[in-house]
Amino acid sequence: MRGWAAAAAALVVAGADLVLHLRRPRWILIALFDHPAHVATAALMALNLRDRSPRWHAGFLAGSLLPDVDHIPLAIGEHPTPETRRPATHSLLAVAPLFALARASRSELADGTAWGTLAHFARDVAVPPGAPLLKPFREEDVLLPYAAYALALVGLAGMAMTR
């Protein structure tokens, strides 16, 4: 079962990114492909974790989408382009309160959500325009080669399939 889930998650990311690369849809339509790819990326990570409760996993998958909540006001008001920079909620500093809440509450759900938010960034730093991970200390977006992300996903899928 784990192997099939890993293969399916890898195919979701590959399919979504192929469409995004070849078709370059309008910004508002990108979410139809990008959000499933974020969840699939997190799923590949989660499939390789041990000793986590269902509540932690639920938080992790929810957290993998959490930073994009800030896109709702952008979509309503600004109508950004695919090149529009991601907002400051896509920074490491924005995740700190989630970890503080998780620690203070000792909630597995909150802990999973905080870690899932970091999983979200793993995809965003590989897809242009990158993410402002170090904001407000550095304004530049962090953008890593997509090949590094793809290779990491292949590795995660392979590990999950062999467990």
Phi-psi region of 106 (alpha: psi -120 to 50; beta: other; left: phi over 0): left
Give the residue-averaged pLDDT of 10-32.
Answer: 90
Range of the domain at 42: 2-162
pLDDT of residue 79: 64
Burial class (CB in 10 A: 0-12, 13-18, 19+), 6: buried
CA distance 114 to 10: 23
Q: How many domains does the chain have?
A: 1
pLDDT reading at 82 higher than 90? no
pLDDT-derived band at 88 (thresholds 50, 70, 90) equals confident
Phi-psi region of 79 (alpha: psi -120 to 50; beta: other; left: phi over 0): left
pLDDT of residue 27: 75
Give the residue-averaged pLDDT of 68-89.
Answer: 73
CA distance 101 to 156: 29
| Helical ranges in 64-128 per DSSP H | 71-77, 92-105, 108-124
pLDDT of residue 154: 97
pLDDT, one tens digit per residue, over 111-153 is 999 999 999 999 999 999 999 999 999 999 999 999 999 999 9
CB 123 within 8 A of CB 44: no
Mean residue pLDDT of the chain comes to 92
pLDDT, one tens digit per residue, over 9-20 is 999 999 999 999
CA distances from 49 to 2, 28, 54, 156, 163 (A): 12, 33, 12, 10, 11
